[in-house]
Structure 1
Amino acid sequence: MRITIVGCGVVGATIAYELSKISDLEITVVDAQPTPVQADLTEYPNATGAALGVLMGAISKKEKGRNLRMRLAGIQYYNETVSELEELTGRSIPFNRQGILMLQFSDDLEVWHRLVEVRRKQDLALEVWNQERLKLEFPFLDRAVAAIYSPSDRQINPVALTQALIEGAKLRGVNFQFGTKVIGRQNQQIQTSQGVIESDYVVISAGVGTSGIEKIDIRPVLGQAIHVRLPKPLSDKPLPVITGDDVHIVTLGNSEYWVGATVEFPTEAGEVLPPDRAMFDEVMRQAIKFCPALKGAEIVRSWFGLRPRPQGRPAPVIEEIEPNVLLATGHYRNGVLLAPATAAEVQEKIIKKL
């Protein structure tokens, strides 16, 4: 069976990697970008490079439903698969297993106490820390009156992960065609800048590029982040992801951290404006408010990229738009987290057709 995957961010790469485990599939992945996603750029044409890889499962306020199941499945997948990928490819994938600490700036914690009970019944740990506990554990933090700690949540480097998924899929025989733009589709026949690809099943996971292929309303939302270096680490012990007012601090090691990210919507006409310096500065101000040690940090680089947000419907979009043509796109800010569950849905649909 011939499978064509259009788009090779983290979602497309995860789909390719998981499908590569099925025998009798001939898999081709096409992507308009000339190379797989790269590290240390300042501008990313896709969402994967711009992501921070923060994986919020138990700490999400979603108490039940499909989205929560997908989130938890994603975290479990990475818990099991990172070592598998590293062994298969010889690549290192930075994966923070220290959890997520969400700072609270109000003493109204009723919703969190309720969620702790919900998670307990789901066999998931979630802790409410008072200010005394927070100061004891992380004295470099300021302003917060409490914190929510989720030991089971994670953070993963999206670029290193995607590169490893691509390499692993290649080792299992998947054909990748980068620098190949899709210019049209007729059923399962894909017309590209390099020629025609005949397929039995097509998966479109091109993110913001999906709209240009299928004319569905997925709009780009810009996000900015910054990589900083401090004279010394915030702490001598391993740190969780620290988040407050939707601003994340991600530890990288060697006194280096990611801080971000902004959420900048397009105009009513759908145009993406240049990155807003004021919003970027505000993210840093917010981070410094609750982590004063970041003031005066050396800026290693800043970067931005686009996230695909479906209009008028929840993210992500996973549906067959016609027989043997499947959309797996529009993951917005959770592409890394939801990629494994997306791949599982795609795999299930294809297995049924074998």
Structure 2
Amino acid sequence: MASRRPEAYTTTLYNKAVRSHDVIVIGAGVIGLSLAWKLQKSGLRVLVVERGEPGREASYAAAGMIAVCDPHNDRLMQPLAEISAAMYPEFVHELEDESQEKVDLRNEGVITFLDPSSYSALHPKSKALTAEEVVTIEPGVVPRANAYFLPESWVDPRLLCSALLRAFKHRGGDVASGSPVLSVTDNEVRTEQTIYHAAAIVNCGGAWAGQLMPPNPTRPVKGQMLCVVPLAHPTPHPPVLRHVIRATDVYLVPRSDGRIIIGSTLEEGGFDKQVNPDVIQQLRSSAESILPAVKDMRTHDAWAGLRPGTPDGRPLLGKLAPNHYIAAGHYRDGILLAPATAEVMAALIEGRTPEIDLRPLAPNRFQR
């Protein structure tokens, strides 16, 4: 079925040789690219405007956990999280088919060590583990108290964004990168390089979203991480880790090529992305205490990303003005919520009713 164009759609570019667009998506992270791909598949003409290089900010820095069973999840967010996690297998299948790129979706599950005082209820699919069961499942792990198995998946977010970008372009989508947005008015997005027009404009600017279409209270929350890799061996070795490991002080996320991602901090420090060697060493030490094999691995790289936070930790999803929308503030759940966010936002933009109640996530909820 053909998609409905936004109600305000008009061709606002007077030069007919210039390609016009129905929707401009500001921000080429996992949220912006997922929405742009969804809209382009629906038959709309979409332009993504990115201040830097597509997929190189918070999405590039993420670990990629689809943490739908985490007992710390916001209960008001859980319906959207459940829908999004259930969408992932088909989302990835279609994405890999269109892009001809793999995103390393893995389903082995998570071993988590919880602090009972930090949550009110476990996810129904959680399964308690004894120390012996932990070692049986993951022989290299040093068990801690309150261990549980969570049937979750994860992806490589760098591969995910690369595939999204390629699939979007394959569908005929346009990307303008390398120039920050200076202003947004009715049907107009102005950058340092040019002016773009569209009937609908969507703010998917991540940590920078608050600077694009104020007032919205998004802010950057810094997270430092590192990647370790096995030392070279003359003969193939089995993987050091098969499951994601989450504890109160650290998490470890294995990649299919043998790398392990270790994270992460939560720091309120503006737009600073400087890496602190002492913090990285502390993360590594915490990882070694759970997985001693990390001691024999070398640090490949370390980085910091800026998560888009909000005052209540929930994203802003909805309409800001007649032609303006926002999908930002996903904090630590951008990877988890990308498929469902694209689905509900596409429904709003196309004039359909989303399948989930978005009132708890309304962008005006902080206005008094």
Task: Name the TM tier (shorter chain).
Answer: 0.7 to 0.9
Alignment check: 8 A CA contact 1:315 1:330 kept? yes
Q: Contact (CA 8 Å) 2:69, 2:150: kept in 1 or not? A: yes
Contact 1:262–1:280 under 8 Å retained in 2: no
What is the CA RMSD across the aligned residues, in angstroms?
2.5
1:36 counterpart residue number? 54
State the number of aligned residues.
329
CA contact (8 A) 1:221 1:272 kept: no
Q: 1:18 aligns with which of 38, 54, 58?
A: 38
Deviations 1:142-199 (A, max 9, x none): 1413421112x11111111111111111111211111232111211211122322121
Higher relative contact order (CA 8 A, sep 6+): 1
User: Retained in 1: the 8 A contact 2:138–2:241?
Assistant: no
Q: Contact conserved, 2:273 with 2:304, CA < 8 A, in 1?
A: no
Deviation of residue 279 (structure 1)? 2.2
TM-score by length of 1: 0.85
Tell me: CA distance 1:111–1:13, structure 2 relative to 1, closer, same or farther (3 Å).
closer
TM-score of the superposed pair, with normalisation by structure 2: 0.82
Deviation at 1:201, TM superposition (A): 0.7
8 Å Cα contact 1:218-1:308 kept in structure 2: yes
Q: Which residue identity does 1:115 align to in structure 2?
A: L
Contact 1:131–1:146, Cα closer than 8 Å, also in 2: no
C-alpha change, 1:261 and 1:196, in structure 2 (3 Å) is same
In the TM superposition, 1:59-70 aligns within 5 A as 59-62=70-73, 64-65=75-76, 67-70=77-80
Counterpart AA for 1:70 = L
- Whole-angstrom distance in 2 between the partners of 1:314 and 1:181: 26
Query: Residue 283 in 1 paired to residue 283 in 2?
Result: yes
Equivalent pair of 2:138/2:242 in contact (CA under 8 Å): no
Asked if 1:56 corresponds to 2:56, the answer is no
Which deviates more, 312-321 or 225-234?
225-234
Could you say which residue in structure 2 is the equivalent of 1:86?
Answer: 96
1:40-70 CA-partner distances (Å, limit 9, x unpaired): xxxx5x21111010111023344843x1122
Cα separation, partners in 2 of 1:126 and 1:293, compared to 1, 3 Å? same
Return the alpha-carbon distance in structure 2 between the equivalents of residues 265 and 63 of structure 1. Answer: 20
Alignment partners' CA distance in 2, 1:264 and 1:314: 14
Q: How does 1:1-354 map to 2 (within 5 A)?
A: 1=5, 2-23=22-43, 25-33=44-52, 35-37=53-55, 46-62=57-73, 64-65=75-76, 67-104=77-114, 115=122, 119=124, 125-151=125-151, 153-215=152-214, 216-231=216-231, 239-266=242-269, 270=270, 272=272, 274-310=274-310, 312-352=311-351
Moved over 4 A (4+): 108-112, 231-238
- The one-letter amino acid paired with 1:249 is L
Moved more, 80-89 or 249-258: 249-258
Q: Distance in 2 between matches of 1:186 and 1:109?
A: 47
Cα distance in 1 for residues equivalent to 2:278 and 2:312: 30
Q: Which runs of 5+ in 1 are unaligned?
A: 38-43, 120-124
Query: Unpaired runs of 5+ in structure 2?
Result: 6-21, 354-368
Which whole-Å CA distance do the structure 2 matches of 1:239 and 1:309 have between them? Answer: 30
Which amino acid letter does the alignment assign opposite residue 239 of structure 1? R
- Greater per-residue helix proportion: 1
Query: Is contact 2:140-2:240 (8 Å) kept?
Result: no
Cα distance between partner residues in 2 of 1:221 and 1:109: 24
